[in-house]
Amino acid sequence: MISLIDYDVGNINSLANLLEDLNIEFCITRDKNKIKNSTRIILPGVSNFSHSMNNIIKLGLDKVLEVEIIEKKNLFLEFAQACKYCALQAKKDM
Protein backbone atom coordinates (compact mmCIF):
# COMPACT_ATOMS: atom_id res chain seq x y z
CA MET A 1 0.00 0.00 0.00
CA ILE A 2 1.20 3.48 -0.84
CA SER A 3 0.85 6.14 1.84
CA LEU A 4 0.09 9.59 0.51
CA ILE A 5 1.07 11.74 3.49
CA ASP A 6 -1.49 14.34 4.53
CA TYR A 7 0.23 17.07 6.48
CA ASP A 8 -1.95 19.99 5.39
CA VAL A 9 0.48 21.06 2.67
CA GLY A 10 0.69 20.50 -1.03
CA ASN A 11 -1.21 19.16 -3.93
CA ILE A 12 -2.61 16.05 -2.26
CA ASN A 13 -5.89 16.02 -4.21
CA SER A 14 -4.12 16.17 -7.57
CA LEU A 15 -1.91 13.27 -6.56
CA ALA A 16 -4.87 11.28 -5.24
CA ASN A 17 -6.73 11.81 -8.52
CA LEU A 18 -3.68 10.67 -10.48
CA LEU A 19 -3.27 7.52 -8.40
CA GLU A 20 -6.98 6.74 -8.75
CA ASP A 21 -6.81 7.23 -12.52
CA LEU A 22 -3.89 4.80 -12.62
CA ASN A 23 -5.78 2.28 -10.45
CA ILE A 24 -3.01 2.33 -7.86
CA GLU A 25 -3.93 1.29 -4.34
CA PHE A 26 -3.13 4.03 -1.84
CA CYS A 27 -4.39 5.75 1.27
CA ILE A 28 -4.26 9.38 2.30
CA THR A 29 -2.95 9.29 5.84
CA ARG A 30 -1.14 10.88 8.69
CA ASP A 31 -1.43 7.71 10.77
CA LYS A 32 2.03 6.57 11.88
CA ASN A 33 1.15 2.86 11.81
CA LYS A 34 -0.17 3.07 8.26
CA ILE A 35 3.00 4.87 7.24
CA LYS A 36 5.14 2.20 8.93
CA ASN A 37 3.26 -0.55 7.11
CA SER A 38 3.30 1.09 3.70
CA THR A 39 5.38 -0.18 0.81
CA ARG A 40 5.87 3.30 -0.64
CA ILE A 41 5.59 6.84 0.67
CA ILE A 42 4.55 9.95 -1.22
CA LEU A 43 5.31 13.24 0.50
CA PRO A 44 3.66 15.97 -1.57
CA GLY A 45 4.71 19.54 -1.31
CA VAL A 46 4.20 22.91 -2.93
CA SER A 47 4.82 25.16 0.03
CA ASN A 48 7.35 27.04 2.08
CA PHE A 49 9.82 24.54 3.52
CA SER A 50 9.70 25.82 7.10
CA HIS A 51 5.88 25.75 7.03
CA SER A 52 5.99 22.18 5.72
CA MET A 53 8.49 21.03 8.34
CA ASN A 54 6.51 22.72 11.10
CA ASN A 55 3.40 20.79 10.02
CA ILE A 56 5.32 17.51 9.85
CA ILE A 57 6.70 18.10 13.35
CA LYS A 58 3.36 19.36 14.74
CA LEU A 59 1.67 16.16 13.55
CA GLY A 60 4.48 14.04 15.01
CA LEU A 61 5.41 12.63 11.61
CA ASP A 62 9.06 13.71 11.60
CA LYS A 63 10.39 10.67 13.46
CA VAL A 64 8.38 8.08 11.53
CA LEU A 65 9.37 9.66 8.22
CA GLU A 66 13.01 9.76 9.28
CA VAL A 67 12.93 6.06 10.16
CA GLU A 68 10.99 4.97 7.08
CA ILE A 69 12.77 7.14 4.50
CA ILE A 70 16.28 7.60 5.88
CA GLU A 71 16.93 4.51 7.99
CA LYS A 72 14.80 1.82 6.34
CA LYS A 73 15.19 3.40 2.91
CA ASN A 74 11.50 2.84 2.18
CA LEU A 75 10.87 3.87 -1.40
CA PHE A 76 9.23 7.25 -1.70
CA LEU A 77 8.28 9.66 -4.41
CA GLU A 78 10.44 12.74 -4.19
CA PHE A 79 8.41 15.86 -4.51
CA ALA A 80 9.94 19.19 -3.59
CA GLN A 81 9.40 18.85 0.16
CA ALA A 82 10.71 15.29 0.26
CA CYS A 83 13.94 16.35 -1.41
CA LYS A 84 14.37 19.19 1.05
CA TYR A 85 13.52 16.89 3.98
CA CYS A 86 16.17 14.38 2.92
CA ALA A 87 18.71 17.13 2.39
CA LEU A 88 18.00 18.46 5.87
CA GLN A 89 18.40 15.00 7.40
CA ALA A 90 21.62 14.39 5.47
CA LYS A 91 23.00 17.71 6.64
CA LYS A 92 22.22 16.76 10.26
CA ASP A 93 24.14 13.48 9.79
CA MET A 94 27.29 15.21 8.50
- Please report, for the domain that includes residue 14, its CATH number: 3.40.50.880
Please choose, from the candidates 32, 23, 37, 39, the residue with its C-alpha nearest in 3D space to the C-alpha of residue 5: 32
Half-sphere exposure of 77 (CA within 13 A, CB side): 16
What's the total number of domains in the chain?
A: 1
Per DSSP, the three-state class of 42 is strand
* pLDDT tens, residue by residue, 45-82: 766 777 888 899 999 999 998 888 877 777 666 555 55
Query: Judging by DSSP bridges, how do beta strands 26-29 and 40-43 pair with one another?
Result: unpaired
Residue-level pLDDT at 47: 65
The 10 Å CB-count burial string (b at 16+, else e) for 36-46 is eebeebbbbbe
Answer for the pair 3, 38: CB distance below 8 angstroms, yes or no: yes
Domain membership of residue 17 as a residue range: 2-93
Residue-level pLDDT at 88: 61
